[in-house]
């Protein structure tokens, strides 16, 4: 997991933005994917191979 931090007045705070890898299997589903989160935006789950996404979904990611 990669989490973004910022420093204010010498203290470190999380910004809420994060990228997390899920290898697939178990309760995450069969296929591996990246999960991207940021404040005030919907969570995105991107399959390992973007070319497997339907075209309408690829258009949404632009």
DSSP-assigned states of every residue in 28-52: G-SS-EEEEE-TTS--EEEES-GGG
- pLDDT of amino acid 60: 67
Tokens of 62: 């632009």
Query: Count of domains in the chain?
Result: 1
Q: What is the pLDDT of residues 4-59, one digit of tens each?
A: 999 999 999 999 999 999 888 888 778 888 999 999 999 998 887 655 666 776 67
Pick the closest to residue 1 from 53, 41, 14 (CA basis). Answer: 14
- pLDDT of amino acid 23: 86
Domain extent, residue 38, equals 2-61
The C-alpha torsion from 57 through 26 and 41 to 36, rounded to 10°, is: -80
CA distance 32 to 59: 21
């Amino acid at each position: 997991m990669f989490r973004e931090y910022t420093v204010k007045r010498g203290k470190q705070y999380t910004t809420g933005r994060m990228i997390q890898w899920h290898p697939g299997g178990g309760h995450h589903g069969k296929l591996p994917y990246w999960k991207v989160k940021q404040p005030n935006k919907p969570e995105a789950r991107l399959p390992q191979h973007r070319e497997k996404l339907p075209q309408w979904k690829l258009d949404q990611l632009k």
